Structure 1
Amino acid sequence: MKSKFIAIAGGLLAATALAGATAKADVKIGLIGGVSGPIAAMAPSMISAAQLAFQQVNEQGGILDGEKLVGVVGDSACNPQGGTDAATKAVNIEGVSAIVGPHCSGAVLAAAGSVTIPAGITVVTPSGTSPEITGLDDKDTVFRTVPSDDYQGRALARTLKEKGYNKVAVAYINNDYGTGLADAFKAEFEAQSGEIAGFAAHEDGKASYRSNLAELASGGADTLVIFDYGDGTGLTILRQALENGFFEKFVGGDGMKSDAPINELGAENLATFVASSPVGEKSDSLDVFNEAYKAAGGDPDAIFVTTSYDAAFMLALAVEKAGGDKAGVSAALREISNGEGEAILPGEWEKAKKLIAAGTAIDYKGAAGDHNFDAAGDVPGTYALFEVGADGFEVMVEMK
C-alpha cells in the first residue's frame, strides 16, 4: 500500500511539474476608465484604442516569453473614490504590471496617492490633465500622454483672443479638472488683456443652473466658456444657457468635445459653439494608427484615442524592456521613448521585441506625438479648436 501511495504521489508531482512547465500566466495591464459617470460616452473608444495595442502585441508573438497580454478593465466612474477602488482591485486582486488611466484627473490623483505610488505600480493616464498631477510626489511612477491643462487653458485663452473674443464669462465644475483648467485659462486670458466678466465654480448633478447662469451673464459678456463634461453637467449648463438666451457664443474645453451636446441639442443649435481638444501631430505614426483603428472598427477622430493607444503600447514596451519586473517598468518607460534609438511606430511590436532582446535602444514614435517625458512625467502636445459642422466636430484652427 505504501509503495502504491508513493507511486501515485510521484505521478501527481510529475503531472504538476509538467503543467507548470507548459502553462504560462497572462500578463495584465489595467485599463481604468470612466465607464460610468460624466465621460461615459468617451470611455469606450479610449478603452478600445488601448485594447488594439494589446491585440497587436498578442498577434505578433505575445509579451515576454510568449505570454498573452490582457487588458483588465475597471471603472473609476470619473471620481476619486471610484478611482481608488478600481486601482485597488487592479493592483491587489488582478496583479497588474501597470495601469493605463485613470481617465479623469481626480481619479488619477486619488488612485495614485492611495494605491499605485505605495505599490510601486506605474500608471500612464491618457486624459488626466490637471496641473496637480505634475506636482505629485510619485517616485517617478505617474506619467501621461496628454498635456497638462495648464498648457490647454493658456493655449485656448491665446487662441480666443486672436479670434476676437475679448470679454467672456467662465463656468467650471468644482473638481480637479475644472479648477485647474479654469485657473490657467483665466490667468492667460487676462495676461492677453482679455476681460473675465464672470468666473464661478458649480457643483455636479443639479437639475437647474439657471441662477448660476443669470449671475454669470450679469457681467455683460456675450460668450460663456464651459469647463465641464459634455456628457454630464456641462450639457445641462449648455442647454439651459441656450434655452434662456443668457449668452450668444459658447466655448468648451476638451471635456465638452463630446457627441452628447450634438445629439441632444442638434448641430443647428450649436453654430456658435467651439471646443478645444488635443490632436495627434501629423506624422507617419498617426497615419499608421488611423488606418489600424479604422480597420478595427474605431473612429480615429474620437477624443483621446491616440493618447490611449500610445499609453497602452508604451506600457507593453516598458514591461517587455523590464523583463516583467513591475518595479522596473517606470525606468523602462523612459528608455523606450526618449528621442534616442531605432524608431518604433504604432503596431511594430515584433520589430521592437527583437531589438529589445538584442539590447538595441528603441524610441517609440506615438500616434499622439513622441512622448519624451519631462522630469514630472509630462509631455508637450498639440491642441486644436473645433466647431460643429454637419458631420460633427471639425477642426477650426490649431491652438498655439
Structure 2
Amino acid sequence: MLNLKTLLTMAVAATTLSIAAPALAEDVKLGILADLTGPIESLAPPIVAGAQLAWDEVNAQGGILGGGKIVPVVGDSACDATAASAAADKLVNTDQVTGIMGAFCTGATIGGANSAAIPGGVVMISPAASAPALTTLADNDLVYRTTPADSLQGVKMADLLLARGVKDVAVTYVNNDYGKGLADVFAATFTAGGGTIAANIAHEDGKADYRAELGNLVGSQNLVILAYASGSGATLLRQAVESGNFTTYVGGDGMVGDDLLTGIDAAAVEGLTATRAGAYAGDSATIYAKLATDAGQDPTATYAPQAYDAAFLLALAVEKNGSAKREGLSAALRDVASAPGEKILPGEWTKAVELIKAGTDIDYEGAGGPLDFDAAGDVPGTIVYLEVEGGKFVEKGAIE
C-alpha cells in the first residue's frame, strides 16, 4: 500500500510534468463549400486553389493553434441552393468543420447558410457571392463576403456604358438572386443616367435553346447578358451571335470564363466587355501575386484573390479565438480584419501568430484590398472591366 509521503511525491511529480509538457497541437477542420459543378464550374478550380494556397502557407509556417494543421474538407454546392444545403449540412454536422470558405454563388451561399451554417453557429465567408440579397440575410453575424456586392458592380457597369455613349441596351438575366439583383441595380443606374432599357427579361438556366428569349430582346443592338459562363451565358451568347441581331455584348462577373468563348467565332465577340471585382493595387496585391505565381497559379483568376483572403481570414480568426470551437469565431474575425491593429499582409502568418500571442491587435489587408467588414459583413472594393481580345479576356483597368 502506498503511504502518504509516496502519494504526495507522486502528486508533485505529476504537477511538474503537466507544467513542463507543452499543450498538444490542435488540428482544425475548415470547409470549402465550392460550386465545383453547375453553371460556374469553369470558374471554381482557381477559386479553390486560392483558398488552398492560404492554408498551405499556414501549415508550412508552423501551423495553427500551437502547431496543428488546417485540414480542408470540400463540399460541392453546384451553384444551387438545394445542393448547397445538403453539402453544408455534411460539412457542419458530419465533418464538424469550424468555419466555411464559400459558397461561390449567392443562392448556394444563402441555401447553405440557412439550412446548416446559421443553425450550427458556423461562420461562412464567401469570396464570390455578390447579390444584394446577402446583405439583408438574417445571419446572426455569421455570413461574410470578401467581394463587393453587386450594388457596386451594377452601378459601375452602367457608368461604364454611359461613359462610352451607349444610350440603349437590352438585358437578359439568369432567374436567381445573382441575376435579378445585378440586373435591378444596373437598370436603375442606367436609366437614372439617361439610358433606355429596351427590354429586361429573366431566363432560366440550363436550357438548350434561348432563341425565343433573344427574339424579345431585339429592341437594342447592345445586349447585356447577366448569367454564367458554363451555363446559360455561353448558350445565349452563341445563339445571339448566330442571330446577327446584336453588335455589342456586355456581361457581368459570371460571364468571365474560358467556357464562354468555346464554339464561338472569336471575331464575332471581339471587344465583348465584362465587369468583375478587381485586384487591389497595393503592397498586399503585389505580395499575393508573387505567392500565387510561385505556386503555379494565375493571380488574376476571377475571385482567386478573394478566396485567398477568405481562407486566410478564417485561419487568423481561429488563431485569435484560441481554439477550434465555433463560439466566438465571428467576433474574432471582425477583430483580425479591421482597424486598429498592426498590418498583416498575405503570407505573413508567422508574424500574425506572434502578434496574437503577444496580445497585439492585427488588421489583415488582403489580396483584394482592405477588409473592414460593415455591419452586414460586406466590404468595399474595386470593379474592373475586361474585354475580349483575340479570343481571350484581357483586364483593362478599374471603372472610375
How far, CA to CA, are the matches of 1:289 and 1:70 in structure 2?
22
CA contact (8 A) 1:45 1:302 kept: yes
How far, CA to CA, are the matches of 1:59 and 1:395 in structure 2?
32
Q: Which residue of 2 aligns with 1:165?
A: 166
How far, CA to CA, are the matches of 1:273 and 1:159 in structure 2?
13
How far, CA to CA, are the matches of 2:282 and 2:388 in structure 1?
25
Aligned residues: 379
Whichever residue aligns with residue 316 of structure 2, its letter is L
User: SS of the counterpart of 2:217?
Assistant: helix
Matched, 1:47 2:48: yes
Identity among equivalent pairs (%): 47
How far, CA to CA, are the matches of 2:91 and 2:170 in structure 1?
41
CA contact (8 A) 2:26 2:64 kept: no
Structure 1 stretches of 4+ with a deviation exceeding 3 A read 21-25
> How far 1:241 sits from its partner (Å)?
0.2
How far, CA to CA, are the matches of 2:136 and 2:376 in structure 1?
7
Q: Which residue of 1 aligns with 2:241?
A: 242
How far, CA to CA, are the matches of 1:334 and 1:370 in structure 2?
12
How far, CA to CA, are the matches of 1:300 and 1:53 in structure 2?
13
CA contact (8 A) 1:338 1:363 kept: yes
CA contact (8 A) 2:321 2:332 kept: yes
Q: Which residue of 2 aligns with 1:10?
A: none
CA contact (8 A) 1:248 1:272 kept: no
CA contact (8 A) 1:38 1:232 kept: yes
Q: Which residue of 2 aligns with 1:394?
A: 394
Measured at CA, do residues 266 and 356 of structure 1 come closer, stay the same or move farther in structure 2, by a change above 3 Å?
farther
> How far 1:153 sits from its partner (Å)?
0.6
User: SS of the counterpart of 2:29?
Assistant: strand
Q: Which residue of 1 aligns with 2:346?
A: 346
Matched, 1:267 2:266: yes
How far, CA to CA, are the matches of 2:56 and 2:208 in structure 1?
42
How far, CA to CA, are the matches of 2:230 and 2:208 in structure 1?
14
Q: Which residue of 2 aligns with 1:355?
A: 355
Whichever residue aligns with residue 88 of structure 1, its letter is D
CA contact (8 A) 2:234 2:261 kept: no
Matched, 1:282 2:281: yes
CA contact (8 A) 2:271 2:389 kept: no
User: SS of the counterpart of 1:170?
Assistant: strand
Q: Which residue of 2 aligns with 1:34?
A: 35
How far, CA to CA, are the matches of 1:277 and 1:377 in structure 2?
19
Q: Which residue of 2 aligns with 1:137?
A: 138
How far, CA to CA, are the matches of 1:396 and 1:215 in structure 2?
32
**1:264-343 equivalence runs, <5 A:** 264-324=263-323, 325-343=325-343
Q: Which residue of 2 aligns with 1:9?
A: none
How far, CA to CA, are the matches of 1:94 and 1:372 in structure 2?
30
User: SS of the counterpart of 2:201?
Assistant: strand
> How far 1:262 sits from its partner (Å)?
2.7
**1:30-179 equivalence runs, <5 A:** 30-179=31-180
Q: TM-score, normalised by structure 2?
A: 0.92
Q: Deviations over 1:199-258 (max 9, x none)?
A: 0000111111111101111x2x11000000011110000000001112111000000011
Cα RMSD after superposing both structures = 1.5
CA contact (8 A) 1:87 1:115 kept: yes
How far, CA to CA, are the matches of 1:142 and 1:189 in structure 2?
30
Matched, 1:212 2:213: yes
CA contact (8 A) 2:277 2:383 kept: yes
Q: Deviations over 1:8-52 (max 9, x none)?
A: xxxxxxxxxxxxx99755311111111000111110100011000
CA contact (8 A) 2:32 2:73 kept: yes
User: SS of the counterpart of 2:224?
Assistant: strand
CA contact (8 A) 2:30 2:71 kept: yes
How far, CA to CA, are the matches of 2:197 and 2:337 in structure 1?
40
How far, CA to CA, are the matches of 1:154 and 1:271 in structure 2?
24
User: SS of the counterpart of 2:366?
Assistant: coil
Once the two structures are overlaid, the 10-residue window that deviates more, 339-348 or 257-266, is 257-266
Q: Which residue of 2 aligns with 1:382?
A: 382
How far, CA to CA, are the matches of 2:199 and 2:340 in structure 1?
47
Q: Which runs of 5+ in 1 are unaligned?
A: 1-20
Q: Deviations over 1:148-171 (max 9, x none)?
A: 111111111111101111100000
User: SS of the counterpart of 2:41?
Assistant: coil
Whichever residue aligns with residue 240 of structure 1, its letter is Q
Q: Deviations over 1:308-367 (max 9, x none)?
A: 000000010001000123111100111011121111010100000010011000010100
Measured at CA, do residues 390 and 272 of structure 1 come closer, stay the same or move farther in structure 2, by a change above 3 Å?
closer
User: SS of the counterpart of 2:379?
Assistant: coil
Q: Which runs of 5+ in 2 are unaligned?
A: 1-21
How far, CA to CA, are the matches of 1:167 and 1:41 in structure 2?
31
User: SS of the counterpart of 1:135?
Assistant: coil
How far, CA to CA, are the matches of 1:175 and 1:265 in structure 2?
26
Measured at CA, do residues 208 and 146 of structure 1 come closer, stay the same or move farther in structure 2, by a change above 3 Å?
same
> How far 1:185 sits from its partner (Å)?
0.4
How far, CA to CA, are the matches of 2:265 and 2:335 in structure 1?
47
CA contact (8 A) 2:26 2:65 kept: no
Q: Which residue of 1 aligns with 2:11?
A: none
Q: Which residue of 2 aligns with 1:18?
A: none
How far, CA to CA, are the matches of 1:174 and 1:68 in structure 2?
41
Q: Which residue of 1 aligns with 2:365?
A: 365
